[in-house]
């Protein structure tokens, strides 16, 4: 969630550190800082708030030096302020940290008994003071190695040393960390995106690894301090990924990119001449699978819930969907004949990565569906299915969500076909219908004008409710989540049939209730549930592709979507809900790309 940058160079580094921190803003953060080494002194600059504030500080008091580290912080220990912002420095060492040190209180007590004083409320300062003690009689590499032995929890670290003017040390356990290479300059970063403007040559640290950077050299060591080699990867050249173009913000851009993102993904996986889904290097025999387990967090989990319906419809397999943060703490019964599917936009989601790691240790089949092919989850899975959505900068996921659903839809169809659970003709008809999806998504985006009128109803409401059945139930959950994320308004998603079992008590005059009801087998039941809400004063926004005149009575707003094959309805019903959340947040003047308290890449538990 926090972001780390380090640069060792033959020229001043502070400007490039700031530029790299700006590329890490998408992760979500509440303070920023950097430290450079100059004239044998650690020069630390930091602030609460945005990187722009750090730039103003540096304009008045520049941070000179050819070696430095930077950080954007998402608060875990201690409130967001200048003191708690990173880096955390002593006279001889400065540290930036992404992660959580779970035994920081015990370590802090031990250090205070030795007479050491803490300036901040953070767990990170424990690392700084431990290193300060170890450096009294050890080299930087040995001091880092011994300090890491004492830490429990997750971390990615960037460290500079007063007495070693050309050295940065990085270390990883749990949280992602990458190294970049150039001429007379080498880099450390939380992800490749932060380094992409400076280099396209990247290596990734694995858990337990330590790296030592100078401007001319990079060395890697494993957790035993044994020197190791790392593969150098070449990144693709995406030149325009960080520009909003004519859009107000990245989220609106990404909402309207969905038709082309879906089209790109379809082109990647579907042979249109044969109406065939191509998944190369399929590592499993579908006949050997007896169960599918889908694992994700937040929006990714909602894509898993939708996929559960698809797998149940297109295959004869038993299917479960699990929240990643709960998965590894249960008494699980691992099955060698089960396929475990892990869904994550960033591919670095800590809970999902930990669930994957547990599966790997138990020797079961794993597959990841990610948007970042260089990510930890992708690299650790037996099989990877990229969603090809392109970089998603807005914290609240939009095009990645529809991309995740698309991959899961195609995978459920493919497995059903290979197992003989669905007929070939049925399979190919589904693919033919799928090829129509980009154009239908484009038409769905035309609902924006009406959604802007609807959005005004939410400004004075104390809450809202999203209802759906079948495929539409997970979409109701996702719609409520989007509204919460972007506008900070309370919203809940429910199965429409559950209204009479408690939630109906929340309905009162004027409460906005969004009913998602495509003309499927659940349609009449959902409309009956809607009438129960209307009878109690709820203000209805109905999202449907039905023209049934019966349902128009007493409905405040109705959003008509294009008619689509029923199993594909979640793609279209998602669009107006994304637009609704966006326009409510816009009216409230919220920070749409970087909602408060949230992070794009959730790299801590």
* Residue of 414, 430, 484, 600 marked active site: 600
Neighbours of 270 (CB within 10 A): 17
Q: At what angle do helices 472-487 and 569-587 cross, to 10 degrees?
A: 20
Catalytic: 2? yes
Residue 214: Cβ within 10 Å count: 16
Q: What is the DSSP secondary-structure string of 171-201?
A: EEEBS--EEEEETTEEEEESSHHHHTTT-SE
Task: State whether the Cα torsion 9-15-17-19 is positive or negative.
Answer: negative
Q: Which of 374, 410, 415, 372 is nearest to 392 (CA)?
A: 372
Please say if 47 is a catalytic residue.
Answer: no
d(CA 362, CA 356): 10
| Three state DSSP letters for 140-177 | HHHHHHHHHHHCCEEEEEEEEECCEEEEEEEEEEECCC
For residue 507, count other CB atoms closer than 10 A to its CB. 19
Annotated active-site residue in 2, 265, 297, 367 = 2
Are the beta carbons of 276 and 418 closer than 8 angstroms? no
H helices within 238-297, ranges in order?
Answer: 250-256, 258-269
Which residues neighbour 425 within 8 Å (Cβ) at sequence distance 6 or greater?
none
User: Contact at 8 Å (CB) between 375 and 348?
Assistant: yes
Give dist(CA 231, CA 427) in Å, integer.
40
Strands across the sheet containing 539-544? 491-495, 464-468, 512-516, 539-544, 557-560
Contacts of 152 (CB under 8 A, 6+ apart): 101, 102, 103
Catalytic residue positions, numbered: 2, 600
């Amino acid at each position: 969630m926090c972001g780390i940058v380090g640069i060792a160079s033959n020229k001043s580094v502070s400007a490039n550190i700031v530029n790299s921190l700006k590329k890490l803003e998408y992760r979500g953060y509440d303070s920023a800082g950097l430290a450079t080494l100059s004239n044998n002194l650690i020069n630390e600059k930091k602030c609460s708030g945005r990187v722009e504030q750090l730039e103003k500080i540096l304009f008045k008091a520049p941070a000179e030096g050819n070696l430095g580290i930077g950080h954007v912080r998402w608060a875990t220990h201690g409130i967001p302020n200048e003191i708690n912002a990173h880096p955390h420095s002593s006279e001889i060492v400065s540290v930036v940290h992404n992660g959580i040190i779970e035994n920081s209180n015990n370590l802090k007590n031990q250090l205070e008994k030795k007479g050491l004083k803490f300036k901040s409320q953070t767990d990170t300062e424990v690392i700084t003071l431990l290193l300060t003690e170890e450096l009294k009689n050890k080299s930087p590499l040995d001091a880092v190695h011994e300090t890491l032995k004492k830490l429990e929890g997750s971390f990615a670290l960037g460290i500079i040393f007063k007495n070693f003017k050309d050295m940065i040390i990085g270390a990883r356990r749990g949280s992602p960390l990458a190294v970049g290479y150039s001429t007379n300059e080498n880099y450390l970063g939380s992800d490749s995106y932060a380094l992409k403007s400076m280099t396209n040559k990247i290596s990734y640290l694995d858990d337990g690894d330590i790296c030592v950077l100078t401007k001319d050299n990079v060395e890697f060591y494993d957790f035993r301090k044994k020197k190791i080699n790392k593969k150098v990867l070449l990144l693709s050249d995406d030149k325009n990924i960080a520009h909003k173009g004519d859009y107000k913000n990245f989220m609106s851009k990404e909402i309207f990119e969905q038709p082309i993102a879906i089209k790109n993904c379809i082109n990647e996986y579907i042979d249109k001449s044969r109406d065939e889904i191509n998944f190369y290097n399929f590592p499993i025999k579908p006949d050997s699978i007896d169960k599918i387990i889908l694992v994700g967090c937040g929006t990714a989990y909602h894509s898993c819930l939708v996929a559960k319906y698809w797998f149940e419809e297109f295959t004869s397999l038993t299917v479960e969907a699990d929240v990643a943060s709960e998965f590894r703490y249960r008494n699980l019964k691992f099955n060698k004949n089960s396929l475990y599917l892990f869904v994550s936009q960033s591919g670095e989601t800590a809970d999902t990565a930990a669930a994957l790691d547990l599966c790997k240790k138990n020797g079961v089949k794993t597959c990841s569906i990610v948007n970042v092919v260089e990510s930890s989850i992708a690299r650790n899975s037996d099989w990877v299915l990229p969603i090809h959505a392109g970089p998603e900068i807005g914290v609240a996921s939009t095009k990645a969500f529809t991309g995740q659903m698309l991959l899961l839809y195609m995978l459920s169809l493919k497995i059903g076909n290979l197992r003989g659970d669905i007929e070939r003709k049925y399979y190919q008809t589904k693919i033919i219908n799928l090829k129509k999806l980009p154009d239908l998504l484009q038409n769905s985006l035309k609902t924006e004008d009406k959604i802007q009128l609807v959005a005004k109803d939410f400004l004075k409401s104390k809450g809202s409710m999203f209802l759906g059945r079948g495929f539409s139930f997970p979409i109701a959950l996702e719609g409520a989540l989007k509204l919460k994320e972007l506008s900070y308004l309370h919203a809940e998603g429910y199965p429409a049939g559950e209204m009479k079992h408690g939630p109906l008590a929340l309905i009162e005059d004027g409460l906005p209730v969004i009913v998602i009801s495509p003309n499927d087998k659940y349609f009449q039941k959902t409309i009956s549930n809607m009438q129960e809400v209307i009878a109690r004063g709820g203000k209805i926004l109905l999202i449907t592709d039905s023209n049934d005149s019966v349902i128009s009575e007493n409905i405040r707003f109705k959003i008509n979507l294009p008619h689509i094959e029923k199993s594909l309805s979640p793609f279209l019903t998602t669009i107006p809900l994304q637009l609704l959340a966006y326009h409510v947040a816009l009216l409230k003047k919220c920070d749409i790309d970087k909602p408060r308290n949230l992070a794009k890449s959730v790299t801590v538990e």
